Structure 1
Amino acid sequence: MLRSRIAALLGAAAVATGTLVVPARPASADAGWAVRAIADMALARRVTKGEGVKIALVGEGVDPKVRALRGSLEPQHDLVGTPRPTRRYDTVIASLLVGDSGPANAPGFVSGARLLPVRAYPNGKDPGATHWNHQAYGAKALADGITWAADHDAGVIAVDVSTFDDNGAVSQAVAYALDKNAVVVTATGMDREVYDLQPAAAPGVIAVASVKAGGERDGKFTRPSSQIALAAPASKTIGAGVGGPWEVWGPGVSLAWVTAAATMVRSKYPKLTPQQVAMALTTSARHPKGAGHYDTDLGFGYVNAKGALDKAKAISQQLAAEPAEEFAATSRFGGGGKPGDVRAAKPRLPVMGAAAGLALLGLALLGAALLLAVRKRKPLEPEPEAPAESAEKESEAPPVVG
């Protein structure tokens, strides 16, 4: 089992990086990518845990009552205003980033950073969500959330939602954030009709592909696209959430990995521009076909947190004088155009697990599907393999806002 291999090779490293749980599968040559990713993160945490950086998480909001997040959260900015928000998914993602403790005694990747929650859309089952969606507020709220985060000193802005944006408000907000020296990271959008989902299509955004246990792109969550910059695990991960441990998977997990790596670079090398941070991340990535290779499945490869710190050190010394020109010459993502459907196979909506009695956490903003998956876990012992509570599986087509 891959999980056993990771534990044997890394020992306490998995605890030092959070609890990435890779589903059991036959051993293969591809399994080493996960071992390396965890080792890279553990080594990077010896250098920095994100001290001095504020991360804005733009999404469905974060529950401040979760114990693992106490002392790590800034006051939430709510652009939605609907009552009684559930905020389940992004609360767990926040714990993967800045949680100070949690299941299996695992801290967040960058537990030294602070997190600024920005609620820019309602969970699909929140009271008032349907009315809010049908008022077509999505793109405006997302743009306002990115702008607000940039104005409140976010060094890294992680966007956990996708939308289409006819008037360009989101891409303008991204440009504003970059000009304010904020790194913008998002999971790539997945929609069968819309190819230029924002903010992944905006120039300068670090768009992340979700990866399966074997290292291949997860077609349930990520469309092949020239917008992809990096790939990161989307496998089941244990985090802290409302009422105890939760098991989470999907694009939010991938987003957490790359956001953490970007935060580490920002913490250690605060004078680097967003373009230089992106260069450090992409040039250090581990691609199965070798360093420097690019494709529309994995981008430049799997995120490598320690390698990004090493590259950032070199960039800070050698490339500070002309970051934008160097970045433009070496980067192949963030062009802002329509990359098209690179492959003929049509993506399909996955069937996702949910806690017993809880609804799916999927949402479409203006027709763009943000695919989420989360379920409640029983209280865990230090080994995070405790069985999950029984969960009904159901599929739900995300609502479309007209």
Structure 2
Amino acid sequence: MRCRHAKKVRHYYIVLNFWDCGYCRSNFNRPTGKVPNEEQASRNLQVRNIQQENSHIQKIDMLHLNNHIKMKLNNSPSIKMIHHNEQDKSHYYDKEAVVNFKDPPSQADVDKMAREIDGKLIDKLDSVYIFKSNSQTTTELIQYFDQNNQVAFVEPHYIFLQNEVNDTLYRNYQWNLPAVGTERGWNFTRGSDDVTIAVVDTGVDLNHPDLSGRLAKGYNVLAKNDNPNDDNGHGTHVAGIIAAVTNNAEGVAGVTWYNPVMPVKVMNAEGIGGSFDVAEGIRWAADHGADIINLSLGNYQSSQVLEDAIRYALDKDIVVVAAAGNDNTSQPSFPAALPGVISVAAVDWEGKRAPFSNYGDHIDIAAPGVYIPSTFTDGQYASLSGTSMAAPHVSALAGLIRSVNPNMKNTEVVEMMTKTTQKAGMDVPDIYYGNGIIDNSEALQLTYKRTKPFGGWFNRFNGR
């Protein structure tokens, strides 16, 4: 007998019986046992191949791709490196500088500065300007602008990368949802179309069938238009974890049923974006109705323009979530390590730290991040690993918490998540897990009790 959670995945059916379905076992509230090997997987799930053709499945060596991109950056004459230690590096665009003025300069002043640096203005946002020189290095540009008493700060134009995917392997099941009590959490809420989650990333596949009706109006920072279509795949995968249409007999299920995803494209087809672009994307999302912002990207060099954008969002009471990074290092990654940002580490199907996940005192919480199936570009699906995949689980939970109580402050949303984590016998806070692994059911139950202390258990079933 098939349970009601069995789903058709294009040419595959996932067939589950009632007992083996992780969703149906009411006492399931922690990461599953070992499932990646086929023998163990067959005990919990049967996959019936309806058709041998599986060209819709993306199998991409993302680790190789990201290493290739890093090599290109390392060898490019227009890119400079900062060595934090023997392993971790950051990059910035040479002959460019990001300048924040105390007050926006006049056009005459901008033209004068451009002439003096033998360059031009290439972009601006409010009082933040990017200048590019034909002949002066970034160091020389910083020295030049530092002499201007109208400059609040000047810094290199740092390069941010998508948090590289550690592995790619298609799996015909979603261990991650029952591992964090997703369906039991749906007894409290399945989300609200009044609570929007922004995905500031490579964009989102706007025509993906499993994201149909789930996308809010977005923005393309790179092209300065309203077409944030994804030409990389990373942002689409993140969006699917949050909001892939549930109960539609198509593909995968997202953590939320109703929360809109706002796609904001700040990185190009190679998963690269400048600090200015990321900051502009954050500000755009904050100004256009985002309640939660997901940032599955990072750099090991802090940026003032990025920090100011994060503070701008936090001051608007937005919950900001960021991936901790995938280099198995204690080197703080930004924006995850910035004050007020929820820094997310990754765990596997056993609740163990993913071997690639960054660690340290800056880690706030952990979530599933190994072999996570989700949507991909061109209507496809892929299973990816990384803290980039862990972060949207937390963003989705934040969206569900605010769906129960939209008036809850961003600091209170964080409290609901960190107070109800799965500790698995660990002493928290912990450098690998932060305050523990998220538990949707417990977090939403606590939120509901705080919001509706009387009659909540009955009334919660009357709405979404």
TM-score normalised over the length of structure 1:
0.65
Check conservation: 1:63, 1:87, Cα contact below 8 A: no
Cα distance 1:122–1:105, how it changes in 2: closer, same or farther (>3 A)?
Answer: closer
Equivalent-residue separation in structure 2 for 1:259 and 1:165 (angstroms): 24
Check conservation: 2:196, 2:290, Cα contact below 8 A: yes
User: What corresponds to 1:41 in structure 2?
Assistant: 182
Check conservation: 2:330, 2:358, Cα contact below 8 A: no
Structure 1 position 175, deviation (Å): 1.4
Equivalent-residue separation in structure 2 for 1:38 and 1:142 (angstroms): 32
Structure 1 position 142, deviation (Å): 1.2
Equivalent-residue separation in structure 1 for 2:18 and 2:215 (angstroms): 31
Structure 1 position 262, deviation (Å): 0.8
Structure 1 position 7, deviation (Å): 7.6
Per-residue Cα deviation, 1:312-367 (whole angstroms, up to 9, x for no partner): 2355589xxxxxxxxxxxxxxxxxxxxxxxxxxxxxxxxxxxxxxxxxxxxxxxxx
Cα distance 1:248–1:192, how it changes in 2: closer, same or farther (>3 A)?
Answer: closer
1:75 is the counterpart of 2:221: no
Q: How many residues align?
A: 294
- RMSD of Structure 2 on Structure 1 (CA): 3.4
2:198 to 56, 68, 71: 56
Structure 1 position 87, deviation (Å): 3.1
User: What corresponds to 2:119 in structure 1?
Assistant: none
1:113 is the counterpart of 2:248: no
Equivalent-residue separation in structure 2 for 1:85 and 1:57 (angstroms): 12
Cα distance 1:11–1:314, how it changes in 2: closer, same or farther (>3 A)?
Answer: closer
1:88 to 215, 226, 233: 233
User: What corresponds to 1:65 in structure 2?
Assistant: 207
Equivalent-residue separation in structure 2 for 1:247 and 1:103 (angstroms): 18
User: What corresponds to 1:251 in structure 2?
Assistant: 387
1:122 to 258, 268, 290: 268
2:444 to 303, 309, 321: 309
Structure 1 position 93, deviation (Å): 2.2
TM-score normalised over the length of structure 2:
0.57
Check conservation: 2:241, 2:255, Cα contact below 8 A: yes
* Larger RCO (CA within 8 A; separation ≥ 6): 1
1:154 to 275, 285, 290: 290
Q: Which runs of structure 2 are paired with 1:3-402 in the superposition (5 Å)?
A: 8-13=19-24, 22-24=35-37, 37-38=178-179, 40-51=181-192, 52-81=194-223, 86-101=231-246, 106-124=252-270, 138-191=274-327, 195-220=331-356, 222-241=357-376, 242-289=378-425, 293-316=428-451
Equivalent-residue separation in structure 2 for 1:162 and 1:178 (angstroms): 18
Per-residue Cα deviation, 1:140-161 (whole angstroms, up to 9, x for no partner): 1111111111111111101111
Check conservation: 2:420, 2:443, Cα contact below 8 A: yes
Structure 1 position 191, deviation (Å): 5.0
Cα distance 1:204–1:122, how it changes in 2: closer, same or farther (>3 A)?
Answer: same
The one-letter amino acid paired with 1:123 is A
What is the DSSP-based 3-state SS (H/G/I as helix, E as strand, rest coil) of the residue aligned with 1:228?
Answer: coil
Instruction: Indicate the percent of aligned positions where both proteins have the same amino acid.
Output: 26
What is the DSSP-based 3-state SS (H/G/I as helix, E as strand, rest coil) of the residue aligned with 2:183?
Answer: helix
Which structure dedicates a bigger proportion of its chain to strand?
2
Check conservation: 1:23, 1:235, Cα contact below 8 A: no
Structure 1 position 283, deviation (Å): 0.6
Per-residue Cα deviation, 1:241-284 (whole angstroms, up to 9, x for no partner): 32333222222321121111111101101111110000110010
Cα distance 1:67–1:43, how it changes in 2: closer, same or farther (>3 A)?
Answer: same
Per-residue Cα deviation, 1:151-179 (whole angstroms, up to 9, x for no partner): 11111101111124544122221111111
What is the DSSP-based 3-state SS (H/G/I as helix, E as strand, rest coil) of the residue aligned with 1:284?
Answer: coil
- Tell me, which stretches of 5 or more residues in structure 2 are unaligned? 1-13, 41-174, 454-464
Check conservation: 2:302, 2:334, Cα contact below 8 A: no
Structure 1 position 230, deviation (Å): 0.9
- Could you tell which deviates more after superposition, 40-49 or 4-13? 4-13
Per-residue Cα deviation, 1:202-258 (whole angstroms, up to 9, x for no partner): 1111111011233221132x2221111111111213223323332222223211211
Equivalent-residue separation in structure 2 for 1:149 and 1:223 (angstroms): 27
The one-letter amino acid paired with 2:308 is Q
- Tell me, which stretches of 5 or more residues in structure 1 are unaligned? 28-33, 319-402
Cα distance 1:89–1:13, how it changes in 2: closer, same or farther (>3 A)?
Answer: farther
What is the DSSP-based 3-state SS (H/G/I as helix, E as strand, rest coil) of the residue aligned with 2:365?
Answer: strand
Structure 1 position 201, deviation (Å): 1.1
Equivalent-residue separation in structure 2 for 1:299 and 1:6 (angstroms): 35
Check conservation: 1:77, 1:119, Cα contact below 8 A: yes
Cα distance 1:311–1:25, how it changes in 2: closer, same or farther (>3 A)?
Answer: farther
- Could you tell which deviates more after superposition, 243-252 or 203-212? 243-252
Cα distance 1:232–1:139, how it changes in 2: closer, same or farther (>3 A)?
Answer: same
Check conservation: 2:371, 2:384, Cα contact below 8 A: yes
Equivalent-residue separation in structure 1 for 2:229 and 2:178 (angstroms): 37
The one-letter amino acid paired with 2:232 is R
What is the DSSP-based 3-state SS (H/G/I as helix, E as strand, rest coil) of the residue aligned with 1:47?
Answer: coil
Check conservation: 1:22, 1:235, Cα contact below 8 A: no
Check conservation: 2:292, 2:318, Cα contact below 8 A: yes
Equivalent-residue separation in structure 1 for 2:288 and 2:323 (angstroms): 22
Equivalent-residue separation in structure 1 for 2:316 and 2:182 (angstroms): 27
Cα distance 1:226–1:4, how it changes in 2: closer, same or farther (>3 A)?
Answer: farther
Cα distance 1:158–1:36, how it changes in 2: closer, same or farther (>3 A)?
Answer: closer
The one-letter amino acid paired with 2:206 is P
Equivalent-residue separation in structure 2 for 1:97 and 1:36 (angstroms): 11
